């Protein structure tokens, strides 16, 4: 039987696909979810390798959390770059309409917290490995629960983003 951690880990791609289905008509939301899906696919592809890194797994997870921030921070610039290279109107539309939403701000905060938790865990595991401490308390008792909370919060933010995408798009059209 799967434990709650495994279920939540595997829920992220499903929520991304659900978000795509809910907000397919909105180009900015579609670009947001496709960007995240690309990062998730890479993360899943390398997971079987990185999980074997006993000490540096947590450093890699912090790096992955930073990579998850990139679709929020740089996807507008990436859309403009892709428009200039491919001349596909979709990318120009995304570039023109993209603005930072409250859900995206929350996602940035969530991933920043995940980076901190993973870096602290990595430092603790290093200290434990070199016998500077006797027990890796954060790794054993705190990290998994905090990451579970972070992932649940992230799933909620992603669903909220998908649900409000069309309203944001209509609001953009009205203010234009």
Q: Are the beta carbons of 56 and 70 closer than 8 angstroms? A: no
User: How far apart are alpha carbons 141 and 120 in whole angstroms?
Assistant: 13
Residue 104, CB-side half-sphere exposure with 13 Å CA sphere:
19
**pLDDT at residue 161 in the model:** 95
User: What residue ranges do the domains of the chain occupy?
Assistant: 4-167
User: 169 pLDDT exceeds 80?
Assistant: no
Using one digit for the tens of pLDDT, what is the confidence trace for 92-114?
999 998 888 889 999 999 999 99
SS3 51: coil
DSSP state of 132: S
- What is the four-CA torsion angle of 171, 99, 162, 90, rounded to 10 degrees? 90
**pLDDT at residue 97 in the model:** 87
Of the two residues 56 and 9, the one the predictor is more confident about is 56
Q: Is the pTM of this model over 0.95?
A: no
User: 172 pLDDT exceeds 70?
Assistant: no
User: How far apart are alpha carbons 72 and 53 in whole angstroms?
Assistant: 28
User: How far apart are alpha carbons 75 and 161 in whole angstroms?
Assistant: 16
**pLDDT at residue 1 in the model:** 42
**pLDDT at residue 176 in the model:** 61
């Amino acid at each position: 039987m799967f434990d709650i951690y495994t279920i939540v880990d595997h829920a992220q791609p499903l929520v991304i696909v659900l978000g795509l289905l809910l907000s397919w008509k909105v180009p900015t939301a579609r670009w947001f979810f496709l960007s995240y899906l690309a990062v998730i696919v890479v993360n899943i592809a390398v997971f079987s390798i990185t999980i074997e890194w006993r000490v540096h797994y947590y450093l890699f997870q912090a790096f992955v959390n930073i990579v998850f921030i990139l679709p929020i921070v740089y996807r507008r610039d990436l859309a403009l770059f892709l428009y200039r290279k491919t001349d596909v109107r979709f990318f120009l539309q995304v570039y023109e309409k993209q603005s930072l939403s409250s859900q995206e701000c929350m996602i940035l905060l969530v991933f920043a917290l995940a980076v901190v938790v993973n870096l602290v865990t990595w430092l603790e595991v290093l200290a434990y490995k070199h016998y500077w401490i006797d027990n890796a308390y954060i790794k054993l008792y705190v990290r998994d629960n905090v990451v579970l909370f972070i992932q649940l919060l992230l799933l909620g933010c992603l669903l909220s983003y998908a649900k409000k995408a069309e309203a944001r798009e209509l609001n953009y059209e009205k203010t234009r």
